[in-house]
């Protein structure tokens, strides 16, 4: 039951990645067009630059969850060093 | 006898590691705490908002580079050892902080000033990115399994105490430059702000001396003697699926939520009290100082408790409480400081007006301060500055108006109480997290693997909280609490991921 929930939630994390990128880029475009001064542009470019890799990380996390990678967490380093 | 010796030795290890980390946090936070003053010194004054935004961007830059520092110094720490790496980070941090105190202002050297400050700020961020993982790993690798949460929680107090120290030293300096408070504030804004930066060199000097006397972590020394150290910690940390999945879990299930709670309860609360509630500069800071002082012991309490019941649910309970109570708590701050609901003592109202001739013209600068007093001890001062032009008919179109409130004793302690509750959440999410992160990763790539999720969570998600929250209030102007949605959504996501995927078991053996 719990393992199935972990897997299904994986789909949510995978979808959340592109959704948050879309929302971020869309908001950035709207805010820059509203006030096209250097401060606004720099600020939103920084946000987009740093949050896109994190959103991709969320997609990878979701993919691992969907594949059942988190059903068993490693209990010793030997399991991590594969 | 042996036990006494071991206890003394571990106390020395914790003390030496914590003092250095505390100084690094102090160095890092004085910049943030003096953002407005630094803006006036290093950025063009034509547009104060632009100047403040520039500083906040610089402040953000200090946070954004932290993950890169985690990679650079984490790798070094896994290759050459914990001790020499966190000595290096301390030296870079101390040197950069001292140098900021020496940089001439924009009026003297032009655009070179903000560029130099930005570079030094980036160096501060890099150094901090390397420091925390080293100190937490170093203490954890000396700790017995049953006391790992307890011993590492001392390292966890340093971030908050660093903020405490920075606020305290700024307040003391601000008040001690002249017997007349107004002159003292003016001197502080002109040159006195440099003192907290320059003072750092003494603290760093002492800390380097202490750290030089420390030995390498026993677990790292052991794997080094066995020839088991990693040849490429970055590759092993992030390209091996089995380790990468733990890095991602640490980030999304713990550090991301912890970061936003930490910065909302301490930094955003300060910005909110001063900016939205219009509370006086000094009163905002003394309130935060009291709340920190009262809440700090709970880092140790929750760290110790996590050794008995596990780390997971303490951290997640802190996040959950923050999610459900932030809005009512911040709303209460608005209510307490709202003077429209208070009864004014009309006969106490004061109006003070002063005139100063503007050099090189026939115009005059008029400063008018109107003070209102209320029955519960609260006061509100509205200061309006405008120019009286010699040319007939010409008037200042938009006078500079500032509002500053001082709350009475009862309200003061009520606000301390609210901030204490918020910082209590910080102690829950942050107290056990060092032990939690250390236990997730193997010794040979621990420094690298734990530093990155910590600094993305704490530095990027957390560090940008005051900035993003303030930005949200400028986009959605109808709701003063709209900035909190950033924290609530991020902490909510982290809570769900943590509850679903994190294991509550503590790893007894971290030597593998």
DSSP B279: B
Mean pLDDT of chain B: 88
- State the nearest Cα–Cα gap between A48 and chain B, in angstroms: 12
pLDDT category of residue B49 using cuts at 50, 70 and 90? low
Closest CA to B261 of B108, B484, B62: B484
* B252 contacts on A by Cβ (under 8 Å): 13, 57-58, 61
Is A13 buried (19+), middle (13-18) or exposed (0-12) by CB count in 10 A? buried
- State the nearest Cα–Cα gap between B354 and chain A, in angstroms: 36
CB-based contact, A41 to chain B, within 8 Å: no
pLDDT category of residue B510 using cuts at 50, 70 and 90? low
Q: Which of B57, B460, B493 sits opposite A43 (nearest CB)?
A: B57
pLDDT value, residue B1: 46
Q: Is the dihedral of CA B183, B185, B188, B190 positive or negative?
A: negative
CB-based contact, B217 to chain A, within 8 Å: no
Collapse the DSSP code of B353 into the 3-class scheme (helix H, G, I; strand E, B; otherwise coil) and give the result.
Answer: strand
User: How confident is the model over B377-400, as pLDDT tens digits?
Assistant: 999 999 988 888 887 777 776 778
Asked if A73 lies within 8 A of B503 by C-beta distance, the reply is yes
Q: What percent of chain B has pLDDT over 90?
A: 46
Strands B364-373 and B400-406: unpaired
Give the Cα separation of B465 and B262 in Å (integer). 9
Query: Are B168 and B290 spatial neighbours (Cβ–Cβ below 8 Å)?
Result: no
Q: Which of B53, B252, B443 sits opposite A61 (nearest CB)?
A: B252
Query: Are B307 and B476 spatial neighbours (Cβ–Cβ below 8 Å)?
Result: no
> Lowest-confidence range among B134-143, B297-306, B408-417?
B134-143
* Section B11-18 average pLDDT: 86
Give the Cα separation of B20 and B126 in Å (integer). 16
Collapse the DSSP code of B431 into the 3-class scheme (helix H, G, I; strand E, B; otherwise coil) and give the result.
Answer: coil
Architecture of the domain whose range is B2-339+409-501: Up-down Bundle (1.20)
Does the pLDDT value for residue B434 go beyond 90?
yes
Q: Which of A57, A77, A81 sits opposite B248 (nearest CB)?
A: A57
Closest CA to B165 of B202, B125, B132, B136: B202
Is B193 buried (19+), middle (13-18) or exposed (0-12) by CB count in 10 A? buried
Closest CA to B243 of A47, A74, A8, A55: A74
User: How confident is the model over B302-344, as pLDDT tens digits?
Assistant: 999 999 999 999 999 999 999 999 999 999 999 999 999 999 9
CB-based contact, B109 to chain A, within 8 Å: no
Give the contacts of B147 (CB within 8 A, at least 6 positions apart): B304, B307
CB-based contact, B472 to chain A, within 8 Å: no
pLDDT value, residue B57: 56
pLDDT value, residue B155: 92
Looking at per-residue pLDDT, the higher value among B509 and B100 belongs to: B100
pLDDT value, residue B141: 87
Beta bridge partners of B118: none
Q: Which of B442, B500, B503 sits opposite A80 (nearest CB)?
A: B442
Give the Cα separation of B242 and B237 in Å (integer). 9
Query: Are B492 and B256 spatial neighbours (Cβ–Cβ below 8 Å)?
Result: no
Q: What does the angle CA B407 – CA B408 – CA B411 come to, to the nearest 5 degrees? A: 75
- State the nearest Cα–Cα gap between B243 and chain A, in angstroms: 6
pLDDT category of residue B101 using cuts at 50, 70 and 90? very high
Query: Are B86 and B138 spatial neighbours (Cβ–Cβ below 8 Å)?
Result: yes
pLDDT value, residue B56: 56
Buried b (16+ CB within 10 A) or exposed e, B420-451: bebbbbbbbbbbbbbbbbbbbbbbbbbbbbbb
* B436 contacts on A by Cβ (under 8 Å): none
Give the Cα separation of B366 and B386 in Å (integer). 5
Does the pLDDT value for residue B117 go beyond 80?
yes
- State the nearest Cα–Cα gap between A40 and chain B, in angstroms: 9
User: How confident is the model over B445-498, as pLDDT tens digits?
Assistant: 888 888 899 999 998 999 889 888 888 888 888 899 999 999 999 999 999 999
* Section A54-60 average pLDDT: 96
pLDDT value, residue B53: 54
Q: Which of B242, B251, B441 sits opposite A82 (nearest CB)?
A: B242
Count of Cβ atoms closer than 10 Å to residue A22 Cβ: 11
Does the pLDDT value for residue B417 go beyond 50?
yes
- State the nearest Cα–Cα gap between A70 and chain B, in angstroms: 6
Q: What ipTM goes with this model? A: 0.93
B354, containing H or E segment: strand B350-357
* Chain B nearest-CA residue for A68: B501
- State the nearest Cα–Cα gap between A22 and chain B, in angstroms: 17
* B464 contacts on A by Cβ (under 8 Å): 47
Relative orientation angle of helices A2-34 and B484-501, to the nearest 10 degrees: 160
Beta bridge partners of B402: B383
Give me the residue spans of the domains in chain B: 2-339+409-501, 346-405
Give the Cα separation of B7 and B18 in Å (integer). 16
Give the Cα separation of B94 and B25 in Å (integer). 11
* Chain A nearest-CA residue for B512: A77
pLDDT value, residue A64: 95
pLDDT value, residue B464: 87
Asked if A77 lies within 8 A of B442 by C-beta distance, the reply is yes
CB-based contact, B382 to chain A, within 8 Å: no
pLDDT value, residue B375: 93
Asked if A58 lies within 8 A of B240 by C-beta distance, the reply is no
Beta bridge partners of B344: B374
Asked if B443 lies within 8 A of A77 by C-beta distance, the reply is yes
pLDDT value, residue B153: 95
Asked if B497 lies within 8 A of A13 by C-beta distance, the reply is yes
* Chain B nearest-CA residue for A61: B248
Does the pLDDT value for residue B46 go beyond 90?
no
């Amino acid at each position: 039951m719990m393992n199935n929930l972990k897997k299904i939630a994986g789909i949510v994390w995978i979808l959340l990645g592109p959704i948050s990128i879309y929302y971020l880029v869309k908001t950035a475009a709207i805010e820059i067009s509203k006030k096209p001064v250097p401060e606004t542009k720099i600020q939103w470019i920084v946000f987009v630059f740093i949050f896109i890799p994190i959103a991709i990380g969320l997609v990878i996390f979701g993919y691992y969850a969907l594949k059942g990678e988190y059903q068993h967490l490693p209990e010793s380093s030997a399991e991590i060093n594969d | 006898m042996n036990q006494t010796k071991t206890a003394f030795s571990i106390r020395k290890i914790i003390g030496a590691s914590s003092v250095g980390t505390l100084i690094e946090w102090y160095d890092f936070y004085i910049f943030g705490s003096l953002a407005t003053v630094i803006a006036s010194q290093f950025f063009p004054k034509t547009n104060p908002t632009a100047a403040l935004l520039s500083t906040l961007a610089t402040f953000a830059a200090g946070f954004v580079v932290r993950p890169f520092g985690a990679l650079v110094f984490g790798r070094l720490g896994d290759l050459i050892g914990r001790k020499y790496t966190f000595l290096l980070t301390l030296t870079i941090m101390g040197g950069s902080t001292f140098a900021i105190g020496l940089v001439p202002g924009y009026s003297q050297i032009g655009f070179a000033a903000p560029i130099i400050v930005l570079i030094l700020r980036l160096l501060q961020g890099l150094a901090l990115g390397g420091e925390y993982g080293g100190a937490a790993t170093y203490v954890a690798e000396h700790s017995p399994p049953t006391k790992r949460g307890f011993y590492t929680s001392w390292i966890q107090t340093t971030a908050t105490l660093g903020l405490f120290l920075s606020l305290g030293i700024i307040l003391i300096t601000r008040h001690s430059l002249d017997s007349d408070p107004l002159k003292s504030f003016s001197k502080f804004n002109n040159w006195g702000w440099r003192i907290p930066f320059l003072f750092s060199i003494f603290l760093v000097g002492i800390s380097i001396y202490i750290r030089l006397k420390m030995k390498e972590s026993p677990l790292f020394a052991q794997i080094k003697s066995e020839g088991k150290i990693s040849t490429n910690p970055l590759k092993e940390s992030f390209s091996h699926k089995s380790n990468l999945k733990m890095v991602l879990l640490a980030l999304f299930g713990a550090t991301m939520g912890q970061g936003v709670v930490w910065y909302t309860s301490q930094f955003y609360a300060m910005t909110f009290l001063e900016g939205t509630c219009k509370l006086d500069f000094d009163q905002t800071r003394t309130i935060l100082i009291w709340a920190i002082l009262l809440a700090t012991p709970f880092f140790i309490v929750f760290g110790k408790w996590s050794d008995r019941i596990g780390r997971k649910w303490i951290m997640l309970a802190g996040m959950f409480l923050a999610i459900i109570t932030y809005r009512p708590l911040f709303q209460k701050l608005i209510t307490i400081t709202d003077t429209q609901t208070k009864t004014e003592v009309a006969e106490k109202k004061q109006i003070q007006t002063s005139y100063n001739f503007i050099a090189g013209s026939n115009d005059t600068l008029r400063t008018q301060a109107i003070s209102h007093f209320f029955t519960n001890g609260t006061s509100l001062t509205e200061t309006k500055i405008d120019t009286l032009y010699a040319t007939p008919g010409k008037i200042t179109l938009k006078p500079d108006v500032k509002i500053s409130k001082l709350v009475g004793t009862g309200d003061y302690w009520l606000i301390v109480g609210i901030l204490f509750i918020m910082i209590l959440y910080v102690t829950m999410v942050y107290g056990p997290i060092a032990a939690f992160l250390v236990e997730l990763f193997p010794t040979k790539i621990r420094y690298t693997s734990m530093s990155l999720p910590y600094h993305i969570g704490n530095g990027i998600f957390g560090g940008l909280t005051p900035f993003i929250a303030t930005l949200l209030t400028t986009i959605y102007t109808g709701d003063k609490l709209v900035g909190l949605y950033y924290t609530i959504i991020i902490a909510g996501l982290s809570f769900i991921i943590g509850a679903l995927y994190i294991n509550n078991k503590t790893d007894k053996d971290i030597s593998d």
